[in-house]
């Protein structure tokens, strides 16, 4: 499909895309770039990428460029590669937020907007780094594309084909809609999990508390094991939607608090039943557990 | 060890204790009691219990009585069985809160307090009911006993032996200490998970939101699939500690909100890193994932 695929940021996501692209025969040559040379050597050793280079050198004859670094680093990388991108090269990204990535692209990839197709693969794991990369990471997972008005039709089509060939189900929506949806179902739960673990770990009897934490805590807090850097960047990038979600959640939690305070068992039961039914229906519909 | 074990409330917990007691040869005869006759018939059919009876009839010649119904139903059951308990019979419970269960016991089991040893097995699953019961549910899990000043020494020892023989690690602490610890590491996370699912499910675009929920949401919200009745009872029973925990959590979440609002990426990174490190250390220490 392409001669040269360049992946900037070869961690869990970038590495898994490299593996999936290789499985699908999407590129003859996969070049990886990144800040941490040890991680790149690891990626080479694992056969995830064929070669390493600086971003500037790598993109010069690239056909398809994937930006898979933390969203906070995207502006600098865009600025660095912009003067060196071939006119035909498709650029896509794997950022969990879209509004901020698109703002950076408008600033730094202004001459290349027709070929920049923003994307968000909805897949991940609590472990980060290329050693956690898996060929099947995107199989049957959602990838959301948020095309720009400036995009060439063939660029959107090629990006769509690329992600589909990596195993994903591709959906298209506006960047703003994307950022609101993922603030609610992904970004907020991560912040909530970090907040619980932080709260417990700051108590004088933290060791005792952790000693009695069991399966419920384990599941709830699993995502607090995620990359702090990535989630810091997401919180800042999706700033407005995050604040709105935290406020809505706090209000909902306060409703439940009031029911407990007033010993309103009947209403508490109604809330918990409704939530339980919604969780069960979701799990059945999407074959989750 | 005992001739007759009576289990009142043969659900996930009561059923699993019956199975574990049978494995350990703790009783010659296991009698199950409960409100739902269908569930009792299922328990009989599965071989979890040997016979069914009303609580009043069952306890008349019991050696060991386990109260494993939702904590909200305990006062009534205690009142019912109190006049019929043999003097030597040990009574223990499996309630997730202890202060309220002990208050009920002081009221309704006043003449039997020397033999009532409150307990909380720290094991469960998001599924409830006897069909989810498993022999190994308590193996290597914590069971907290909160003995009363009135307890006979041999009653505490026998209850300890019983739970150990079911596979558990037994710890002893005061009821108040127990209730504060579990409000933080168990009861609060359940309420937080119910609150998130409830909030999302009440949105006009709930279906779309759930459609993009992925692995992070799945893990975080798994405990929102738990029994609404059980968690309503726990919230009401552990009222004061729950309110204190919700307030502490809300304050912590608000700290993080302020960091997002002021775009304080440095401090946000510090908080997320600290939480991530605490979660990782917990998972390694207790061999969790």
Predicted-complex ipTM score: 0.86
Which alpha helices (DSSP H) does A97-238 contain, by range?
99-108, 153-165, 175-182, 188-201, 206-212, 215-221, 228-237
Q: How does pLDDT run across B266-283, given as a tens digit for each residue?
A: 999 999 999 999 999 999
For A84, the enclosing helix (H) or strand (E) is none
Q: Is residue B238 within 8 Å of B99, Cβ to Cβ?
A: yes
Q: What angle do CA A192, A196, A199 make, to 5 degrees?
A: 135
Which residues neighbour B268 within 8 Å (Cβ) at sequence distance 6 or greater?
A: A232, A235, A236, B256, B259, B260
Q: How far apart are CA B106 and CA B74, in angstroms?
A: 12
Tell which of B12, B100, B185 to mutate to test the A interface (max A CBs under 10 Å).
B185
Which CATH number describes the domain made up of B177-285?
1.10.3660.10
For A31, the enclosing helix (H) or strand (E) is strand A27-33
Q: How far apart are CA B7 and CA A284, in angstroms?
A: 32
Q: Do B250 and A249 touch (CB under 8 A)?
A: no
pLDDT at residue B126 is higher than 70 = no
Tell which of B201, B216, B269 to mutate to test the A interface (max A CBs under 10 Å).
B216
Which of A199, A220, A263 is closest, CB to CB, to B223? A220
Q: Do B288 and A181 touch (CB under 8 A)?
A: no
Angle, in degrees to the nearest 10, between helices A12-23 and A153-165: 90
β A119-121/A116-117 pair status: unpaired
Q: Is residue A5 within 8 Å of A31, Cβ to Cβ?
A: yes
Q: What angle do CA B113, B118, B119 make, to 5 degrees?
A: 160
Q: Output the 3-class SS for chain B.
A: CEEEEEEECCCHHHHHHHHHHHHCCCEEEEEEECCCHHHHHHHHHCCCCCEECCHHHHHCCCCEEEECCCHHHHHHHHHHHHHHCCCCCEEEECCCCCHHHHHHHHHHCHHHHHHEECEEECCCCCCCCHHHCCCCCCCCCEEEECCCCCCCHHHHHHHHHHHHHCCCEEEECCHHHHHHHHHHHHHHHHHHHHHHHHHHHCCCCHHHHHHCCCHHHHHHHHHHHCCHHHHHHHHHHCHHHHHHHHHHHHHHHHHHHHHHHCCCHHHHHHHHHHHHHHHHHHHHHCCCC
Would you state the pLDDT for residue A125?
63
Question: What class has domain B2-173?
Answer: alpha beta
Q: Do A257 and B239 touch (CB under 8 A)?
A: no
Least Cα distance to B18 among B7, B8, B28 occurs for B7
Q: Do B189 and A275 touch (CB under 8 A)?
A: no
Q: Is residue A126 within 8 Å of A230, Cβ to Cβ?
A: no
Q: Does B38 touch chain A (CB under 8 A)?
A: no
Residue B116 distance to chain A (closest CA, Å): 23
User: Strands of A119-121's sheet, edge to edge?
Assistant: A119-121, A142-145, A169-172
Question: What residues of B are in contact with residue A212 (Cβ under 8 Å)?
Answer: 122, 142, 144, 181-182, 185-186
Q: How far apart are CA B197 and CA B132, in angstroms?
A: 23
Q: Does A261 touch chain B (CB under 8 A)?
A: yes
Q: Do A282 and B208 touch (CB under 8 A)?
A: no
B 131-160 residues with CB < 8 A to A? 141-142, 144
Would you state the pLDDT for residue A160?
97
Compute the radius of gyration of chain B from its Cα atoms. 21
How far from A254 is each of A164, A167, A197, A249, A260, CA to CA, in Å? Answer: 42, 41, 20, 8, 10
Would you state the pLDDT for residue B217?
96
Question: What residues of A are in contact with residue B224 (Cβ under 8 Å)?
Answer: 275-276, 278-279
**Residue A113 C-alpha from the chain's centroid:** 21
Q: Do A194 and B265 touch (CB under 8 A)?
A: no
Which of A181, A261, A275 is closest, CB to CB, to B224? A275
Would you state the pLDDT for residue A151?
98
Q: How far apart are CA B131 and CA B187, in angstroms?
A: 24
- Highest mean pLDDT of the ranges A268-272, B67-71, B124-128: A268-272
Q: How far apart are CA B155 and CA B104, in angstroms?
A: 19
Domain with CATH 3.40.50.720 in chain A: 2-173
Q: How far apart are CA A88 and CA A167, in angstroms?
A: 24
Residue keyed to tokens 């990174």: B269
pLDDT in tens, chain A (289 residues): 899 999 999 999 999 999 999 999 999 999 999 988 899 999 999 999 999 999 999 999 999 999 999 888 999 999 999 999 999 999 999 998 999 999 999 999 999 999 999 999 998 765 789 999 999 999 999 999 999 999 999 999 999 999 999 999 999 999 999 999 999 999 999 999 999 999 999 999 999 999 999 999 999 999 999 999 989 999 999 999 999 999 999 999 999 999 999 999 999 999 999 999 999 999 999 988 7
CA atoms within 13 A on the CB side of A196: 32
β B119-121/B51-52 pair status: unpaired
How far from B182 is each of B68, B131, B187, B222, CA to CA, in Å? Answer: 18, 26, 6, 18
User: Which 8-state DSSP code applies to residue A205?
Assistant: T
Question: What residues of B are in contact with residue A119 (Cβ under 8 Å)?
Answer: none
> Which region, left, alpha or beta, applies to residue A108 given φ > 0 means left and ψ of -120 to 50 means alpha?
alpha
Q: Do A222 and B217 touch (CB under 8 A)?
A: no
Taking residues B220-248, report their average pLDDT.
95
Q: How far apart are CA A25 and CA B287, in angstroms?
A: 39
Nearest residue on chain A to B208, alpha-carbon basis: A181
Q: Do B194 and A275 touch (CB under 8 A)?
A: yes
Residue A116's DSSP bridge partners are A91
Q: How far apart are CA B87 and CA B154, in angstroms?
A: 13
Q: Work out how many CB contacts closer than 8 A connect A with B.
A: 286
B 65-124 residues with CB < 8 A to A? 72, 122-124
Residue keyed to tokens 């609060």: B188
Q: How does pLDDT run across B166-213, given as a tens digit for each residue?
A: 999 999 999 999 999 999 999 999 999 999 999 999 999 999 999 999
Domain with CATH 1.10.3660.10 in chain A: 177-285
Q: Does B64 touch chain A (CB under 8 A)?
A: no
User: Which 8-state DSSP code applies to residue A168?
Assistant: P
Q: How far apart are CA B266 and CA B271, in angstroms?
A: 9
């Amino acid at each position: 499909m392409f001669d040269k695929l360049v992946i900037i940021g070869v961690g869990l996501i970038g590495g898994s895309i490299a593996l999936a692209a290789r499985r699908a025969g999407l590129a003859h040559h996969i070049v990886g770039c990144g800040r941490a040379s040890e991680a790149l050597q690891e990626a080479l050793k694992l056969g995830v990428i064929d070669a390493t280079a600086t971003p500037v050198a790598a993109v010069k004859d690239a056909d398809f460029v994937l930006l898979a670094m933390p969203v906070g680093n995207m502006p600098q990388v865009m600025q660095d590669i912009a003067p060196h991108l071939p006119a035909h090269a498709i650029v896509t990204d794997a950022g969990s937020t879209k509004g901020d990535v698109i703002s950076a692209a408008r600033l730094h990839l202004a001459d290349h907007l027709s070929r920049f197709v923003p994307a968000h693969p909805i897949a991940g794991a609590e472990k980060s780094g290329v050693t956690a990369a898996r060929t099947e990471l995107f199989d049957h997972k959602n990838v959301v594309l948020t095309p720009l008005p400036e995009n060439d039709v063939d660029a959107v089509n090629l990006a769509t084909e690329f992600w589909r060939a990596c195993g994903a189900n591709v959906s298209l929506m506006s960047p703003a809609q994307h950022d609101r949806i993922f603030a609610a179902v992904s970004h907020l739960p991560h912040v909530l999990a970090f907040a619980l673990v932080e709260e417990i770990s700051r108590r004088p009897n933290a060791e005792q508390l952790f000693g009695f934490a069991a399966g419920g805590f384990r599941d709830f807090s699993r995502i607090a094991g995620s990359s702090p850097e990535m989630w810091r960047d997401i919180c800042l990038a999706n700033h407005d939607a995050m604040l709105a979600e935290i406020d809505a959640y706090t209000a909902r939690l306060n409703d439940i608090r009031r029911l407990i305070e007033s010993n309103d068992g009947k209403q508490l039961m109604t809330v918990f039943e409704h939530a339980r039914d919604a969780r069960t229906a979701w799990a059945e519909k999407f074959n989750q557990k």
